[in-house]
A = this chain, B = another copy of it.
Amino acid sequence: MSKLLILGTVAFDAIETPFGKTDKILGGAATYISLAASHFDVNAAIISVVGGDFPKEFLTKLEAKKIDTSGIEIIEEGKTFFWSGKYHNDLNVRDTLTTDLNVLADFKPKIPAHLTNPDFLMLGNLHPSVQMTAIKQIPKRPKLVALDTMNFWMDNTWDELMEVLKKVDVITINDEEARQLSGEYSLLKAADKIHKMGPRYVIIKKGEHGALLFENGNAFFAPALPLEEVFDPTGAGDTFAGGFIGHMASTHDLSFENMKRAIIAGSNLASFCVEKFGTERMMNLTKDDIQERLQEFKVLTQFDIELT
């Protein structure tokens, strides 16, 4: 079984949407990525850091999904990274209310010896130097390295971002970020420029408008499933990434055709994530739920047209 290593935050989130609000609940990119990846035949492990205030029960929940949490450093005298945000009525826009970095401020990933030879590596959204520190502790290049990043790092740590992009195969960003990173409005042209920065595969996440995959000259699009209820978009992008890398790691097939399936798998899992607050829906998701919705994706996108 493939070894999948996930670098990213494990955090407390407090979320407010038009439909309600939560106290501090389990959150963080690595949490969502690993929960999504846990639905595939992979050995997933997290590299992260939390404070002494982080409940053991949250770690137990991840372990119950067969996620290896031994790489989550616990700094007893520190506090766990905390983010809170409020979504507007249309759920496409959110305001960040609090970002308490806490133990994340001095995070230097230390990958335990038994986790330094992953087959697949997913670098969640973090300072690009922190992502690079993780890459450097892995002596043998993984089959596939995927990286998530955001506009903040483009604004503030451009050079470090360019360095780490040279080391990755797949980048996941949203459409605005793709335009910022490339200086191109056309996403097709943006992807071409980003390819030249390193990543062979460019995945552009458009939230409720779906996701695009570009590889030199090839493009594939997966819509978001139209849902009755979207409750809380938090974690949807990370869940998408986790489904993508989970599918890739469980199949070992790096063809474009298989990457299409991975994009659909990611979109499928993300469609569940938004149905409840935080990780709630992901925690009780079954294989049958996933299969049933995969069928809905087929109906939604597949057509038969004659080429004359």
A residues near B, CB below 8 A?
89-91, 185-189, 206, 209-210, 212, 214, 218-221, 223, 226-230, 257, 260-261, 264-265, 291, 294-295, 298-305, 307-308
Q: Which residue of B lies closest to A297 (CB)?
A: B305
Q: How far is the CB of A266 from chain B (nearest CB, A)?
A: 12
Q: Are A227 and B186 in contact (CB under 8 A)?
A: yes
Given A220-B300, A221-B300; A186-B229 close (CB under 8 Å): yes
Contacts of A300 in B (CB 8 A): 219-221
Q: How far is the CB of A22 from chain B (nearest CB, A)?
A: 20
Q: How far is the CB of A84 from chain B (nearest CB, A)?
A: 23
Q: Are B291 and A298 in contact (CB under 8 A)?
A: no
Contacts of A304 in B (CB 8 A): 257, 261
Q: How far is the CA of A295 from the CA of B206 in the complex (A)?
A: 24
Contacts of A302 in B (CB 8 A): 301-302
Q: Are B226 and A223 in contact (CB under 8 A)?
A: no
Q: Which of A189, A219, A257, A305 has the most CB of B within 10 A?
A: A305
Q: Are B301 and A221 in contact (CB under 8 A)?
A: yes
Which of B209, B228, B299 is within 8 Å of A220, CB to CB? Answer: B299
Q: How far is the CA of A221 from the CA of B212 in the complex (A)?
A: 14
Q: How far is the CA of A307 from the CA of B228 in the complex (A)?
A: 24
Q: Are B212 and A209 in contact (CB under 8 A)?
A: no
Q: How far is the CA of A186 from the CA of B208 in the complex (A)?
A: 10
Q: How far is the CB of A224 from chain B (nearest CB, A)?
A: 9
Q: How far is the CA of A302 from the CA of B305 in the complex (A)?
A: 11
Contacts of A305 in B (CB 8 A): 261, 264-265, 294, 298
Q: How far is the CA of A119 from the CA of B305 in the complex (A)?
A: 23
Q: Which residue of B lies closest to A306 (CB)?
A: B261
Q: How far is the CA of A126 from the CA of B149 in the complex (A)?
A: 45
Q: Which residue of B lies closest to A247 (CB)?
A: B305
Q: Are A227 and B307 in contact (CB under 8 A)?
A: no
Q: How far is the CA of A226 from the CA of B212 in the complex (A)?
A: 9
Q: Are B223 and A221 in contact (CB under 8 A)?
A: yes
Q: Which residue of B lies closest to A263 (CB)?
A: B303
Q: Which residue of B lies closest to A296 (CB)?
A: B219
Contacts of A89 in B (CB 8 A): 185
Q: Which residue of B lies closest to A223 (CB)?
A: B221
Q: Which residue of B lies closest to A292 (CB)?
A: B307
Q: Are A219 and B189 in contact (CB under 8 A)?
A: no
Which are the 7 A-B pairs with shortest beta-carbon distances?
A209-B209, A221-B223, A260-B303, A188-B226, A261-B305, A221-B300, A187-B226
Q: Are B298 and A219 in contact (CB under 8 A)?
A: no
Q: How far is the CB of A69 from chain B (nearest CB, A)?
A: 28
